[in-house]
Amino acid sequence: MLTIVASMEHEVAGLRRGLNALSAQAPGPLPPVDVQVIGIGKKESQKRVMALLERRRPSMAGDLGPDGLLLVGFAGAVDTRLPTGALCLSTRYYRAAQAEEISPISGAGDASGGQPYFTGDFIEPDQRMWQQSVDAACEAGVRISHLDSLTVDCLVSGAQEKASLGQSYPVGLVNMEDYWVAAAAAEAGVPFLSARVILDTSNQTLPAYLAGLAGSPLRPILAAVFMPWRIPALIQLGLQFHLARAVLTRFALSYIQYIRGLPESVGSTPGPAATSVGVN
């Protein structure tokens, strides 16, 4: 069974609707796809994924394998070439380093020793799943970036902070789960892949209150009612959110159809995803 996980329900709501349409249009019963929400950040996501894998360990060979574990969700760009809606299929998932793990680049930066740069711990995706995802994205008409991702401990909201991370790590995007979910999958011997779509661009500063709005679909509405000066920022983020989710949904459905051997026309979701721009 293919298991798809995401940190927030908002990221997979479109996918759930698409799966219902896919089942209705298919000529016969489809192999099940399990969609789970695992929470935001290391503590929640790793705990829930490890529990999920542990429950399925007795039947692992016929359950999660060979389809594996697919993490889908939004990410923030630290590379200036990545626009909202870019699909990123990274080949390495880095984690944010501790101070003692960061070393300067020889000859770079100032006279004190150069630009700090992290070259250490990362996890790679399952190569079979990664190639399948590339093929599925091509079939769906979604252009791809292969820039690597960085897993951080907290929301990266400022353009200056994004620029600093882009200079300190060989990555193009940031999120809070890739490395930790990949580590849990590796420990369990389960094939893993992360597919991310850019929500906020590298030069975009997110509102400081955004983290408090992530947990409930009603919170942005209440914020707009009681604090109307936030409306322009919420509208802009809303437009970006709908584009990013459309791309994510289109890719995920295409991936499911690809590994099941279904034609793209079954359950397809035309829309802005087909014209999204990525970086190769």
pLDDT digit string, tens, across residues 15-65: 999 999 988 877 767 778 999 999 999 999 999 999 998 887 655 544 444
Q: How far apart are the first and last CA of the chain?
A: 30
pLDDT value of position 141: 95
pLDDT value of position 99: 52
Give the DSSP per-residue string, 33-89: EEEEE--SHHHHHHHHHHHHHHHTGGGGGGTTTTT-EEEEEEEEE-STT--TT-EE-
pTM to 2 decimal places: 0.81
CA distance 254 to 193: 15
CA distance 278 to 253: 19
pLDDT value of position 261: 81
pLDDT value of position 250: 97
Locus of tokens 């584009």 = 243
Question: In this structure, what CATH number is given to the domain that contains residue 256?
Answer: 3.40.50.1580
- CA-closest candidate to residue 166, choices 231, 71, 84, 75: 75
User: Residue 72 in contact with residue 45, Cβ under 8 Å?
Assistant: no
Tell me, yes or no, whether 137 lies in a domain: yes
Residues 151, 177, 140: CA angle, nearest 5 degrees: 100
Tell me, yes or no, whether 113 lies in a domain: yes
- Residues sharing a CB contact under 8 Å with residue 235, sequence separation 6 or more, in sequence order: none
128: how many CB neighbours lie within 10 A of its CB?
13
**Token code pair at residue 194:** 């992360």
pLDDT value of position 236: 73
Q: Give residue 6's identity as a one-letter amino acid code.
A: A
The SS3 assignment for 203 reads: coil
Residues of the chain with pLDDT under 70: 28, 57-67, 98-120, 207-235, 262-280
pLDDT value of position 6: 96
Based on the structure, what is the number of domains in the chain?
1
Bond preceding residue 66 cis, omega within 30 of 0: yes
Tell me, yes or no, whether 69 lies in a domain: yes
- Residues sharing a CB contact under 8 Å with residue 137, sequence separation 6 or more, in sequence order: 87, 89, 143, 144, 251, 254, 255
User: Residue 172 in contact with residue 121, Cβ under 8 Å?
Assistant: no
> For residue 264, what are the domain limits?
2-275
Sign of CA dihedral 272, 275, 279, 280: positive
pLDDT value of position 155: 86
DSSP tag of 217? T
CA distance 182 to 37: 15
Tell me, yes or no, whether 195 lies in a domain: yes
CA distance 173 to 206: 15
pLDDT value of position 59: 54
Residue 151, strand partner residues: 95, 175
Tell me, yes or no, whether 280 lies in a domain: no
